[in-house]
Structure 1
Amino acid sequence: MSFFNRITFQTPESVELEFSLAGIGNRALALIIDYLLLGLTLFGFFIAWTFLSIQLFDFIDKIFANSQNLGLWLLAIFFIATFSIYAGYFVLFETIWRGQTPGKRFAKIRVVRDDGRPIGLQQATLRSLLRPFDESLFIGAFLIMFSRREKRLGDLAAGTIVIQTQTSTASATLKISEQARSLYGYLLQITDLSPLLPDDFAIIREYLQRRGAMALKARTALALQLTQQVQAILDLEKLPENVSPDVFLEAIYLAYQQKEF
């Protein structure tokens, strides 16, 4: 096993993006947090189910004076509902939060497809259904530690990988204008940056790193194209006055690093 494994995606624009794989430590931290939240949810469900079952038993006894089969039905429904909550927790969050659960947000990791695209309902469902097998005899942990792309059974079946959402590239390596430094705080206040995925951010970072070597015409056109794409993703109708595409992208770069996942 290698620490801080890296993986490279190639976007449709033929830009190579490199990310760190999440690693067993971050994934274990995320799972602990998720299981704490899931345990609280199941505990609340158990209390409510116990109360409703007692009420239902009393009701059936008063009317039919025979509740022997009811207990078996209630037990079967209880186990089905418990598994649905267990599996549904991961499916729900990884679908609506684009590859993250509360635990993954805290650990700053995300599930993506093998090509870097966001996962959907199908991938989230496959990962969740295979989770019990991964956790049996720590099969998933062994696969994560000793496979090159750190995949458990659910990842292999769904065609997914888990990456870190934070980039190791520091903003100090880029030239950031003072106008962008004052603008990024304003962007954090007026817009939600969560629709921006790690590969979107990496494309912006790639442009900011390489723009100095570009011809002026190509640089202007690419900056404008990237700005329009970011505006569409974030649903920003127009830029603040006197803000150029380059300054806007610099501000987005700073704001993205400061946002909480």
Structure 2
Amino acid sequence: MEQEQLQVKTPEYVSLQFKLAGLGSRTAAYLIDYAILVVSQIILTFILFFSLSFDAGAFYFDQNTLFITLYLIAIFVLNLGYFALLEFFWRGKTIGKKLLGIRVIQENGHNVTFLSSLIRNFIRLLDVYVIGMVLIFAHPKHKRLGDLAAGTLVIHEQGKNSSKKNAVEQYIEKCGLHKEDLTLESFDIQQFHQRDWQLLNTYVHRIITIQQKEKPILTEQVSEILLPKIDTRINQYSLSNESILLLLYLHLKDEWEY
């Protein structure tokens, strides 16, 4: 099936285009994740087996009951938490989705929230996978029941050519800056929205072309808008505002550039 284009208008009135992930890539990603879960469950089963006591007696019976209860809880948490937690903290990706180059997003183009990820993956446990496949194939936006309930989409990430740097990346490299020079957590990244990315993206492309005397004015204007969102992070760095904005660009680029 050919990749279908979908245009989404964000709450910030920005139009984004995505390539919807179809049945083939989603199934392949799920099989990879499922294989990881199976191996994890086998390991847990071995741990349970060697933890059980086969001696007679009420004490051993109660102990075995406790181990089996913990085992069942661990299996449930693993099956739900693997998908829900990875998708939330890894920007809509699991290991399988990462390998296949797809990710989950909200219908408005924003990153998937923890509640949405929890809903779509809880329903995965209740859904018969054959029904899910039929829905993905038949639905115009390739949604299964979990996506319908959570308001999510699965899209292809735009491939990036790491061997060729664009003008902004060349400028950042020339400044001697590296993404690792600014440490940001997932919570910090989530403080910025599509409108912030548009502003920052415009700034960094403008800063490499304008005259030197104009840079401080533009940098100050953009800094006043964006940097207060991570002021607790950047206080520990002895970097100029321009450097911090350029490093912030490298972080948000992975988040917002599709």
For the residue of structure 2 that corresponds to 1:5, the secondary structure is strand
> What is the CA–CA distance in structure 2 between the aligned matches of 1:140 and 1:119, rounded to whole Å?
20
Indicate how the Cα distance of structure 1 residues 189 and 82 shifts in structure 2: closer, same or farther if over 3 A, else same. Answer: closer
Q: Give 2:80's aligned residue.
A: 87
1:109-138 Cα offsets, whole Å, 9 max, x none, are 22222212333332122111221454432x
What count of residue pairs does the alignment treat as equivalent? Answer: 241
1:207 aligns to 2:165 (yes or no): no
> What is the CA–CA distance in structure 2 between the aligned matches of 1:41 and 1:50, rounded to whole Å?
14
1:189 aligns to 2:184 (yes or no): no
> What is the CA–CA distance in structure 1 between the aligned matches of 2:243 and 2:121, rounded to whole Å?
44
Report 1:13-28 matches (<5 A). Answer: 14-28=13-27
Shift of 1:243: 4.3
1:36 aligns to 2:35 (yes or no): yes
Indicate how the Cα distance of structure 1 residues 222 and 9 shifts in structure 2: closer, same or farther if over 3 A, else same. Answer: farther
Indicate how the Cα distance of structure 1 residues 202 and 36 shifts in structure 2: closer, same or farther if over 3 A, else same. Answer: farther
> What is the CA–CA distance in structure 2 between the aligned matches of 1:140 and 1:152, rounded to whole Å?
5
Contact 2:104 2:111 in 1 (8 A): yes
Partner of residue 152 from structure 1, selected from 144, 160, 165: 144
Shift of 1:156: 0.2
Per mean C-alpha deviation after superposition, the further-off stretch among 96-105 and 170-179 is 170-179
Q: Give 1:103's aligned residue.
A: 96
Indicate how the Cα distance of structure 1 residues 80 and 29 shifts in structure 2: closer, same or farther if over 3 A, else same. Answer: same
Letter of the aligned partner of 1:146 in structure 2?
A
Indicate how the Cα distance of structure 1 residues 5 and 179 shifts in structure 2: closer, same or farther if over 3 A, else same. Answer: closer
Contact 1:17 1:203 in 2 (8 A): no
> What is the CA–CA distance in structure 2 between the aligned matches of 1:164 and 1:95, rounded to whole Å?
17
Contact 1:17 1:199 in 2 (8 A): no
1:130-159 Cα offsets, whole Å, 9 max, x none, are 21454432x222222232222111000111
Partner of residue 229 from structure 1, selected from 226, 230, 236: 226
Letter of the aligned partner of 2:10 in structure 1?
Q
Contact 1:187 1:255 in 2 (8 A): no
Letter of the aligned partner of 1:88 in structure 2?
G
* TM-score using structure 1 length: 0.67
For the residue of structure 1 that corresponds to 2:92, the secondary structure is coil
Structure 2 spans left out of the alignment, 5+ residues: none
Structure 1 spans left out of the alignment, 5+ residues: none
CA RMSD of aligned residues (A): 4.5
For the residue of structure 1 that corresponds to 2:177, the secondary structure is helix
> What is the CA–CA distance in structure 1 between the aligned matches of 2:227 and 2:29, rounded to whole Å?
29
Letter of the aligned partner of 2:48 in structure 1?
W
* TM-score using structure 2 length: 0.68
Q: Give 2:156's aligned residue.
A: 164
Shift of 1:90: 1.4
Contact 1:93 1:99 in 2 (8 A): yes
**Identical columns (%):** 27
Contact 2:200 2:222 in 1 (8 A): no
Per mean C-alpha deviation after superposition, the further-off stretch among 196-205 and 82-91 is 196-205
Shift of 1:162: 1.6
Q: Give 1:3's aligned residue.
A: 3
Q: Give 1:48's aligned residue.
A: 47
> What is the CA–CA distance in structure 1 between the aligned matches of 2:37 and 2:224, rounded to whole Å?
40
For the residue of structure 2 that corresponds to 1:30, the secondary structure is helix
